[in-house]
Amino acid sequence: MAFALSAGLVAPTHAAQSLAQVQAQVAALQDEATSAAEGAQEAKVKLNSLTKTLNGIKAKAAVQGQTLSSLQKSLGTIALEQYKAGGIGQSLELLFSSDPALYLSSAGALDSISRSKSAQLRKYHAAQQRLNATTLTVNDKLALVMAAQKKYKAQSAIAKAKLVQAEAILSKLTKAERERLAKLAADQENADQTTSKALAKKYSALSGRGGKALKFALAQLGDRYVFGAAGMVTWDCSGLTMRAFQFAGVSLPHSAAAQARLGKSIPFKSIQPGDLLFYGRPISHVSIYLGGGKMVHAPRSGSRVKIANLDLGSKPFVGARRF
């Protein structure tokens, strides 16, 4: 369904105008699908992070459970020792013993056992409280994990549904019309790639961290856009920027919205080559600023990695970050 809106498509004939409208509808649905897919990526990043945290808390709970069990055994041993010693009855018996030395030594032993039991009880109660608190945290994080899973599935379903809608529109066309649209889309993509590769030659002297990221991204010109892809031959927008900055030594999550929360915020008037640019409310697209009013990005389903103007039309620019 690689159908991009071509300026040369609109012709004076009614048929050409009809095809232009169809292509515009399909492109809009592909954009919506891409935005939903990026929302799914954000949910996936959050899900992975929450799952990692949850596993860590569960491991902590397991250790605390073992500690509690050990303290229970220790308390049991002390109780058994007191029972064997006769408890309070034994101490009274010793009190009236005819041997003061025996009383003093045995009384000291009983007092030591009592103090030990008291200390162990305090440790036991503290350990029990820690385990209870950790268990509550596990339950809270589990609820968040389930919510993230639900959002991920919902966003993925929306993305797929939008593509199904686009396919339904195309299915109403004749074979000749579909072939005409496919050729126009392919011609537009090929023209974009020719222009992109010509522009890329002007940026061979890039340096610094942003420069390294840009060089990586420019090396992927022409690669296809695929939902959730992060290389090395297919990409989505945040997958491309993630790998590009990984090449430059910066670790980023695979999500435009998550990437927008990192780095240093840069006002639009101060953007420099290598800065990440973010689009959409909520954020659903990211690109790398190239300079001269141009950026490199993986646009949407049906398109390829290319150099483009900063204006994305329906998706407003919402911020820039520097790493």
Tokens of 168: 């339904």
What is the average per-residue pLDDT within 270-277?
Answer: 96
Q: How confident is the model at residue 20 (pLDDT cuts 50, 70, 90)?
A: confident
What is the average per-residue pLDDT within 238-262?
Answer: 97
- Residue 95, pLDDT > 50, answer no
**Omega into 253 within 30° of 0, i.e. cis?**
no
Please list, in sequence order, all residues whose beta carbon lies within 8 angstroms of the beta carbon of residue 217, skipping any fewer than 6 positions away: 240, 241, 244, 288, 296, 305
- Residue 304, pLDDT > 60, answer yes
Other residues' Cβ atoms within 10 Å of the Cβ of residue 259: 24
Strand bridging mode 224-225 / 234-235: parallel
What is the average per-residue pLDDT within 9-33?
Answer: 71
Write down the architecture of domain 190-322 according to CATH. Alpha-Beta Complex (3.90)
Measuring CA to CA, which residue among 228, 230, 226, 227 is closest to residue 217? 230
What predicted TM-score, i.e. pTM, was given to this entire model?
A: 0.71
Domain boundaries along the sequence of the chain = 190-322
Q: Which residues pair with 319 in a beta bridge?
A: 278
Find the DSSP H helices in the chain: 14-85, 87-95, 100-171, 175-200, 208-218, 237-247, 256-259
What is the average per-residue pLDDT within 313-320?
Answer: 93
What single-letter amino acid sits at 286? V
- Residue 299, pLDDT > 90, answer yes
Q: pLDDT over 90 for what percent of the chain?
A: 52
In degrees and rounded to multiples of 5, residue 319 shows phi and psi of 165, 165
Q: pLDDT over 70 for what percent of the chain?
A: 80
Q: What is the pLDDT of residues 79-89, one digit of tens each?
A: 555 555 554 44
Mean pLDDT value across the chain: 83
